[in-house]
């Protein structure tokens, strides 16, 4: 017990010294993704006359802390317009997620690997029963446009699993292209 308390005390002291190096880094982004349903027994052409293609337009904000030149950790929230089955219907979803990024700085460009994971919630009458999980690994590049402001371009895989009470779970796998601005 003493070792645990001593370890927590040392971590607290170390984090106080590290706080001075942490910088708030907001980000806004717009993304477009196209994907396919990975589990499409409920959603197939024989049953509903629909295809398995899904598209999504995303508007996200990430409030992150840049811990060093090489790492940031943030909390993201957004709104996704899920256009399922080639524009048959639109559902509005709210993703809430943690985002971690590892940077490789080269001149005015920063290449990065990122991983996001969190939850999805439906907000409209048609989608309010939707609850699910998301996972999104990606690669990207941040290009400095003026001091402390960067354009972001990233390519992500976007995996999600969500369900409604009377339907079986739905899994999406999408490829997402995002552009954004961070400052």
Residue 68, both tokens: 């060093």
Identify whether 9 is part of a domain.
Answer: no
Identify whether 36 is part of a domain.
Answer: yes
Identify whether 4 is part of a domain.
Answer: no
Q: Per the structure, how many domains does the chain have?
A: 1
Q: What separation, in Å, do the N-terminal and C-terminal C-alpha atoms of the chain show?
A: 43
Identify whether 3 is part of a domain.
Answer: no
CA distances from 37 to 34, 50, 53, 56, 61 (A): 10, 11, 7, 13, 26
Identify whether 12 is part of a domain.
Answer: no
Identify whether 16 is part of a domain.
Answer: no
CATH code for the domain of 91:
2.40.160.20
CA distances from 119 to 96, 102, 160 (A): 5, 22, 9
Model pTM score = 0.77
Identify whether 14 is part of a domain.
Answer: no
Domain residue limits at 118: 22-182
What distance separates the 2 farthest-apart alpha carbons in the chain? Answer: 65
Query: Digits of tens for pLDDT over the chain (183 positions)?
Result: 556 555 555 555 455 445 557 788 889 999 888 776 554 444 444 444 445 667 888 999 999 998 888 899 999 999 988 776 444 567 788 999 999 999 998 877 889 999 999 998 888 777 777 788 999 999 999 998 988 889 999 999 988 887 766 665 666 788 889 999 988
């Amino acid at each position: 017990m003493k070792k645990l308390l001593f370890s927590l005390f040392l971590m607290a002291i170390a984090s106080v010294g590290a706080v001075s190096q942490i910088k708030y880094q907001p980000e806004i982004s717009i993304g477009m993704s196209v994907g396919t349903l990975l589990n499409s027994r409920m959603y197939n052409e024989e049953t509903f006359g629909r295809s398995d293609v899904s598209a999504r337009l995303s508007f996200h904000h990430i409030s992150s802390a840049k811990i060093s030149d090489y790492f940031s950790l943030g909390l993201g929230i957004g709104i996704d317009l899920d256009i399922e089955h080639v524009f048959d219907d639109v559902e509005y979803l709210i993703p809430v997620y943690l985002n971690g990024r590892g940077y490789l700085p080269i001149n005015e460009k920063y290449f990065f690997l990122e991983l996001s994971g969190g939850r999805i919630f439906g907000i409209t009458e048609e989608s309010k029963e939707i609850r699910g999980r998301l996972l999104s690994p990606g690669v990207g590049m941040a290009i400095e446009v003026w001091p402390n402001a960067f354009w972001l371009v990233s390519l992500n895989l976007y995996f999600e699993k969500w369900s409604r009470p009377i339907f079986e779970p739905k899994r999406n796998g999408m490829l997402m292209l995002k552009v954004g601005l961070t400052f």
